[in-house]
Structure 1
Amino acid sequence: MTIYCDESGGLNAGAMTFAAVMLTPEAAADIHKRFRGVTGLRGELKGSRISVVERAYLLELFDRAGGRAWVAVAERDTLAKNADGTMPSDLALYGALLNSAVGHWLPETGGVCTDVVIDDGRYDPKILSHVRAEIQAGLGQWGRASLADSKRSDGVQIADVIANSLFNIAVKSPRAARIERIIEPMLASKAIRVAEQTRVP
């Protein structure tokens, strides 16, 4: 299995979410093929660019394929401040959310070799290489952590849509109520699970 990772939002937007999605590469490719064939989508699949109906269809395909996700969520209003009274930095929060989302998966992999693929678009490559190294240390001999251009990764693009869905709900966007109804069955079945982040270690 592969864990695909992507984030959405930021503290300046009211919340940051980080999705760690478990799918085989073949399942991710099949979801994209079907979704693009039906919707006619060209280019990169982004949660911020698709309609609510398209989102519902993609998440239905994800659920049917047996996809599962852990999503770490931090809301600005409930996030503890640093000791000096400042808010955690964007990078520090990103790292904490990534560690939480991926960390929730590792005990469930049962020792099966797992690859973790992280979107490389948010920060400088040098910074992300340190993030990748930390995840690799956690995986040890059981898998490999790598960075990927989201435009070339079906799984990372699916993770983007899931992270964006939880971001919309966290900030109570105009689409939040409809998105919440879409993912409600997946939350109930634990196909999607949420870990709330209230402090940055």
Structure 2
Amino acid sequence: MKIFCDESGGFDGDKHSLLVAAVRVTEHDAARIMKQFRKAIGATNEVKGGLLTDGDRAKFFDMLAASEHLGVVVTCGKTSSLGSIVARSHSEHHVLEEMITEACSPLIDASGSSHVISDGGRYSRQIYDQISENLGHRLSRSGVPVRVDFVRSDVTPGVQIADIVANTLYKATRTESDLSEHPACGFLIKDERIVVSSATLQMLRPDWLAAE
């Protein structure tokens, strides 16, 4: 199994939160799902979550449900107590590193090496190289190495899956309080095949906030 990640939103402009989705799925299943989904919606190139209709999203999550997968989504609201503090005190890529750690940690297989593959189109290569090194150490379990790569989403079906999951839930968190009732992916949240939680950012949050 590989763990594919992507983020949605951010702390700049009119974005309301930063969200990271991590999906554990085989490369074979990821390629099959995206091929099937592109055919279903008539797409010939990379599918971007932000361009999908509600009907497209429902088709996608039905296809994802038919595979053996597990997803973890971590969110940090820009106007929350924690979000407003870290958005001012830390660079966004530092927050992203913490959120990838939180999203991937429950999916790491301690019995064998894991491979985390994330979208690499947001920051410079130097920043991604540093995040890769940091995450490789932080996600290791009992000496088992974790490889972390940042890649092009257009040639990586698993990252495209994570993108659709991330974008769908980013849009939903703006207006919906109960994500388990989401018309496209709520059934997977109810079944805990996609687990959604607020980021804790233990390495970044101030001590006084942690004590509240």
TM-score in terms of structure 2 length:
0.84
Q: 1:143 to 1:92 in 2, by over 3 A?
A: closer
Report what 2:99 is aligned to: 97
Give secondary structure in 1 for the equivalent of 2:128: helix
Consecutive aligned runs of 4 or more in structure 1 exceeding 6 Å deviation: none
Give secondary structure in 2 for the equivalent of 1:121: coil
Give secondary structure in 1 for the equivalent of 2:132: helix
> Does the CA contact (< 8 Å) of 2:118 and 2:159 recur in 1?
yes
> Does the CA contact (< 8 Å) of 1:72 and 1:197 recur in 2?
yes
- The two structures, once aligned, show a CA RMSD in angstroms of 2.3
> Does the CA contact (< 8 Å) of 2:58 and 2:183 recur in 1?
no
Deviation readout 1:63-93 (Å, 9 max, x if unpaired): 111221111111112142449x935432222
Q: 1:129 to 1:46 in 2, by over 3 A?
A: same
Identity, % of aligned positions: 25
Alignment of 1:113 onto 2:116: no
Counterpart residue type for residue 111 of structure 1: S
**One of 162, 166, 171 as aligned partner of 1:163:** 166
Deviation readout 1:16-44 (Å, 9 max, x if unpaired): 11011100000001101111122211211
Alignment of 1:38 onto 2:40: yes
- The 5 Å alignment of 1:66-145 reads 66-80=68-82, 81-82=84-85, 86=88, 88-106=90-108, 109-137=109-137, 138-139=139-140, 140-145=143-148
> Does the CA contact (< 8 Å) of 2:5 and 2:117 recur in 1?
yes
Deviates further, 159-168 or 72-81: 72-81
Measure the CA separation in 1 of the matches of 2:111 and 2:131.
Answer: 22
> Does the CA contact (< 8 Å) of 2:113 and 2:146 recur in 1?
yes
Measure the CA separation in 1 of the matches of 2:94 and 2:191.
Answer: 31
Alignment of 1:146 onto 2:146: no
Please report how far the alpha carbon of residue 8 of structure 1 lies from its aligned counterpart in structure 2 after TM superposition.
Answer: 0.3
> Does the CA contact (< 8 Å) of 2:38 and 2:47 recur in 1?
no
> Does the CA contact (< 8 Å) of 2:19 and 2:74 recur in 1?
yes
Deviation readout 1:135-176 (Å, 9 max, x if unpaired): 212335344211210011000000000011111122228xx9
Give secondary structure in 1 for the equivalent of 2:165: helix
Report what 1:53 is aligned to: 55
Give secondary structure in 2 for the equivalent of 1:19: strand
Q: 1:38 to 1:86 in 2, by over 3 A?
A: closer
TM-score in terms of structure 1 length:
0.88
Report what 1:6 is aligned to: 6
Deviation readout 1:76-114 (Å, 9 max, x if unpaired): 12142449x9354322221221111012222xx241332
Counterpart residue type for residue 175 of structure 2: K
Measure the CA separation in 2 of the matches of 1:120 and 1:20.
Answer: 14
Unaligned runs of 5+ in 1: none
